[in-house]
Structure 1
């Protein structure tokens, strides 16, 4: 058994590292202009993970950067109410990042607009944060590929903290989130992510993200086939390639979610590869979903929950998959489903 499964993570907490964002959600018909009302959600990929873990009674911390003002105080109070430790938040700068997403649409849809340039997080610089202090008592560190996509500064700071966390023997996980509307500072993911991934024990994403970010090629015929058996085999090939080339990595997870444009006919399953074995989840289907945002974050949280508690790999992939699937029916960035409810979805 590899040390990702055998290591006792429960002696410390999970630190989730990333930018806190406010999601503004106009309706597709523009009624928000007439009503003078624009719904706001507190989000960000890593905060979504932190929220799920705290809900599931895993000691959960959150690092981000915020300006020091009254609105930030309100936001931090909101996060604290979810039993997330926010003591590591770094205060500087002038603004919180925003994004606009038309109600019912996906983050990959044209309805997505980012407004996060010059945010407090984007303007962090190396040497600014005392990482030894931030990482005290942490046994698991999580980030996503969204962090280094924001700016060169953000990528440099991400590398800085990964080096410190790795030197301390902290388990590190990454979600290979790809956002086409980021990566606008002259670098492509393949220029940045391989260096960061070398510090990671657990890498999660999908076969196409691994190709774009880590250079792991995907057979074009597999993509065109649409066949589950071929997707699962390609997930194994991708995972083996990643573990071969990123020597610290001990587990790779790949998700497969297929949804019609109008959020109908959903098919969801995932593959976890660890200990030289493939663990395939059950397949979940639905005629219609409510909100795609944050389902991948919930899956990541499920993986961390399972490994943190030393669960069996099949249990880990089944629970993580059910967690992500149940998130599709929650109208918010983060899940509100407890472990008991998720366990029922497995059955």
Structure 2
């Protein structure tokens, strides 16, 4: 069992029923979620000893968050209480050719007001093997930019493997601001998740020859990234083709040691809930790395974990290692007896 820490905001999600617009809705379903919390829950389901660092208000919503995390055996020792409100967002689920839409209500949340001096990283990182954070966290406030950088530096000082998922959100900040911030963080990152568009528009890397295949373009960008930041040992991303809001294809990519490994192309047909699919993939990658899985097995597992997440409501994945492995090996649609 590996000790893992994730840092980020957990929010209350309100979702309309499929086929309704938010302006029409007279009832909403509730779930709790957030990128780093979703990764924490997946890794806990995979059998790891996971701690989630965040800040929530001292009110019934904050208590509900704690209960939610504990229900998946995620430790809440470092869940700080304070501030005025829990961030939230509203999800309007896409149908057919209509995309899903997210409306945030997270300004001045408890987490966005978190200060670096509120966390004792010597205590938080004691005995930890892996630390994970995403680009959403530094987007939320100037103090969280400082906190994210401090956390990554502290982790590296203690010899902890670090993971950073770009997770760029255009509704939170500009590409320029994200790029400037990420460039200060990347020297302290071992595991990184980003795609071709991130390489070009966030990092400003020179574009690959457009005549190349998408696989060769990805090899180009990932090789450039390792040249710029030789500390980065593992890079991952997915290729997603959107046929409709309920039918996608998904293929995982994993780059290490100068080699690109890819999963098979999975067809996801009928998507129940796409939110959190990327976090399930990230957790699968991290699980494979810390368990020293062979690269091809690792990327197949991570992609299968993401595919399964699309079949359940809510932000977080609820499948075990054995369930993901069985799906990856046996394929979809069978009755497991």
TM over 0.5: yes
Q: Residue 32 of structure 1: CA displacement?
A: 9.4
- After TM superposition, the structure 1 = structure 2 runs for residues 310-329 of structure 1, keeping only pairs within 5 Å, are 310-329=292-311
1:252 aligns with 2:243: no
Q: Residue 30 of structure 1: CA displacement?
A: 5.3
Q: Take 1:213 and 1:330, find their aligned partners in 2: how far apart are those partners? A: 31
Q: Residue 187 of structure 1: CA displacement?
A: 6.0
Give the secondary structure class of the aligned counterpart of 1:198: helix
Would you say the 8 A contact 2:208–2:220 is kept in 1? Answer: no
Instruction: Tell me which residue corresponds to 2:256.
Output: 274
Give the secondary structure class of the aligned counterpart of 1:194: helix
Instruction: Tell me which residue corresponds to 1:45.
Output: 35
Give the secondary structure class of the aligned counterpart of 2:280: helix
Instruction: Tell me which residue corresponds to 1:142.
Output: 132
1:216 aligns with 2:205: yes
TM-score, normalized by length of structure 2?
Answer: 0.90
Q: Take 1:259 and 1:192, find their aligned partners in 2: how far apart are those partners? A: 30
Q: Take 1:110 and 1:103, find their aligned partners in 2: how far apart are those partners? A: 5
Q: Take 1:110 and 1:267, find their aligned partners in 2: how far apart are those partners? A: 17
Would you say the 8 A contact 2:246–2:271 is kept in 1? Answer: yes
- After TM superposition, the structure 1 = structure 2 runs for residues 323-342 of structure 1, keeping only pairs within 5 Å, are 323-342=305-324
Deviations 1:298-340 (A, max 9, x none): 0000011111111111111110011111111112111122222
Q: Take 1:155 and 1:16, find their aligned partners in 2: how far apart are those partners? A: 16
Give the secondary structure class of the aligned counterpart of 2:5: strand
Q: Take 2:23 and 2:70, find their aligned partners in 1: how far apart are those partners? A: 29
Instruction: Tell me which residue corresponds to 1:6.
Output: none
Give the secondary structure class of the aligned counterpart of 1:63: strand
Moved more, 125-134 or 274-283: 125-134
Instruction: Tell me which residue corresponds to 2:109.
Output: 119
Would you say the 8 A contact 1:126–1:153 is kept in 2? Answer: yes
Deviations 1:121-167 (A, max 9, x none): 11112323211112122110001111111122211111111111111
1:54 aligns with 2:44: yes
Q: Take 1:220 and 1:122, find their aligned partners in 2: how far apart are those partners? A: 40
Q: Take 1:331 and 1:126, find their aligned partners in 2: how far apart are those partners? A: 34
Structure 2 alignment gaps of length 5 or more? 330-337
